Structure 1
Amino acid sequence: MKKLVLTLATAAFLSACATSPTGRSQVTLFPESQMSQMGSAAFTSMKQSQKVSNDRNQNRYVNCIVDALIPELNAIAPDMRTTRWETKVFVDDSANAFALPGGKIGVHTGMFKVADNASQLASVLGHEIGHVWARHGNERVSHQYIGTAGLQLASVLAGEPTAEKQQILGLLGVGTQVGVLKFSRTHESEADDIGLKLMARAGFDPRQSVELWKNMAKQGGGNAPEFLSTHPATDTRIRDLQAQMDSALKLYKQAQSQGKRPNCRL
């Protein structure tokens, strides 16, 4: 039996090779349609279990930023054009945001206290959208699936809150208090790269991405934002962003010259 499982896992591994937007080889066992179903199921569960903000200004603000980012994503990622994005603001003091397969975006109200302006929030959302485009959730769930030889992912997501359910949410990209699973440095670097270019193409100032991470770092210690637990802000990360800033600023200036000046205000 063990030999059969290993053989099937090996065959799946070899038949599921993919390439990330940055050219990195990936193993993604699940079709994107199934990942979208999982993301939608997780998002539905969150909307039922957490308080959704009805504040018009907050929702208008976040949607304004997302509406500016998505056309730029579609321009460089044809495979994402059929995705129907849904955005919700959750009433939660933790500074957190996420994006799930299937185009589900969540922003905690606590993020408004850390992201001082629209460009800073755009850097967060661009980063999270980058995780979705690069199929990082698929990679992590695939590795978990191989490791457990067939975890019943869909049934776990549909059930009551458990450690297993929170673990899967973490794999998909939602920071949780139980079993938080950090994205790898490779995933973080890819999401940073994608997010920086995406926000610049949309007309948001890419220099504000550095300021955002500085704001995150200021809230370190025992009261560090939840976002830091799953998206580590280090001096290395800031240096990496700064190293890409010249090319990002060129995209930003091109966007400005094309009249892309998002007027998103809280």
Structure 2
Amino acid sequence: MKKIASLYILMLGLLTAPVAQAQLSPNLVQAGIDALMSATITNAQVAEISREAVKEMDAKNPVASASDPYAKRLSRIVGRYPTINGIKLNYKVYKVPDVNAFATADGSVRVFQGLMDIMNDKEILAIIGHEIGHVVNKDSHDATKSALRRSALRNAAAANDGVVGQLSRSELGGLADYVAAASFSRQQETEADDFSYAFLKRNGQSVLALASSFEKLDKAGGGKVPQFLSTHPDSKARAARVRARAKQEGVR
């Protein structure tokens, strides 16, 4: 509460001081707004911000039309899952060669053509289950709040140093770019793996598809971790963990 109260006082002072206001940088004002939002924002507001960010992402990437073979394939894969854990989902394919997929706090799921090219339907569903796990576990909400806090710091730097300000603005990129490359802790990644495993098992799908998807990601990286998995646990270790659990539980 003290932190939130201090932010309100800061914003009130910034916006009402008559002398300072004339010299106040728009970046510094935005820094205060971002900091305040990151401290007080609700889950519903996070979802709305995420929705707007995904709209920007959709505008920047080639989205497969409903008649496109990739879109039809994805629709066939996820047709039974318009909602998961009470979250209404919307799915689209980006027709780009990157091996990637992400889901955001509003329930938007984006799968890249490059990922679909190397995986079968069951593996794609397993990856989607993992990404939705981040949403259900609130990882995506926390990542959005973190992005707002970083935005506040960058705007403050831009307001106080001309050279640093130029670098900060060039590096900012926007929340939309951050959404597709959000990094999560290893524990969060493991918990998202567990969510996908439980989701597949609960719906009568092969849990081993989760293991084979990790093995294909490892192969796609030539033994190296693909960029979007740079903070994830080792793909081979994840696959082995899934296979060991499936063997112990006697499921496939």
Which of 1 and 2 has greater Rg?
2
Alignment correspondent of 1:98: 102
- Give 1:233 shift: 3.8
Alignment correspondent of 1:141: 144
Whole-Å separation in 2 of the counterparts to 1:66 and 1:248: 26
- Give 1:144 shift: 5.2
Structure with the larger helix share: 2
Once the two structures are superposed, residues 104-142 of structure 1 have per-residue CA deviations (whole angstroms, 9 ceiling, x without a partner) of: 010111112221x11110110000010011110222333
Q: Contact 1:69–1:126 (CA<8 Å) still a contact in 2? A: no
- Give 1:212 shift: 1.2
Alignment correspondent of 1:15: none
Choose which of 61, 66, 71 in structure 2 pairs with 1:59: 71
For structure 2, list consecutive stretches of 5 or more residues without a partner in the other structure: 8-38, 156-168
1:243 aligns with 2:244: yes
- Give 1:102 shift: 0.7
Alignment correspondent of 2:54: 43
Aligned ranges for residues 1-266 of structure 1 at < 5 Å? 5=3, 8=6, 30-54=41-65, 55-71=67-83, 73-74=84-85, 81=86, 83-115=87-119, 117-143=120-146, 145=148, 163-166=171-174, 168-169=175-176, 172=179, 174-175=180-181, 181-221=182-222, 225-229=226-230, 231-246=232-247, 250=251
Paired residue total: 207
TM-score, with normalisation over the residues of structure 2?
Answer: 0.69
- Give 1:34 shift: 0.8
**In angstroms, what is the RMSD of aligned CA positions?**
3.3
For structure 1, list consecutive stretches of 5 or more residues without a partner in the other structure: 10-27, 75-80, 153-160, 176-180, 253-266
Q: Contact 1:87–1:105 (CA<8 Å) still a contact in 2? A: yes
Describe the SS at the equivalent of 2:187. helix
Instruction: Describe the shift of the 1:192–1:224 C-alpha distance in structure 2 as closer, same or farther (beyond 3 A).
Output: closer
Describe the SS at the equivalent of 2:124. helix
Q: Contact 1:200–1:249 (CA<8 Å) still a contact in 2? A: no
- Give 1:191 shift: 0.5
Whole-Å separation in 1 of the counterparts to 2:62 and 2:231: 22
Once the two structures are superposed, residues 211-245 of structure 1 have per-residue CA deviations (whole angstroms, 9 ceiling, x without a partner) of: 11111111224986444335454333223222332
Whole-Å separation in 2 of the counterparts to 1:213 and 1:222: 12
Instruction: Describe the shift of the 1:204–1:222 C-alpha distance in structure 2 as closer, same or farther (beyond 3 A).
Output: closer
Whole-Å separation in 2 of the counterparts to 1:226 and 1:119: 23
Whole-Å separation in 1 of the counterparts to 2:97 and 2:80: 25
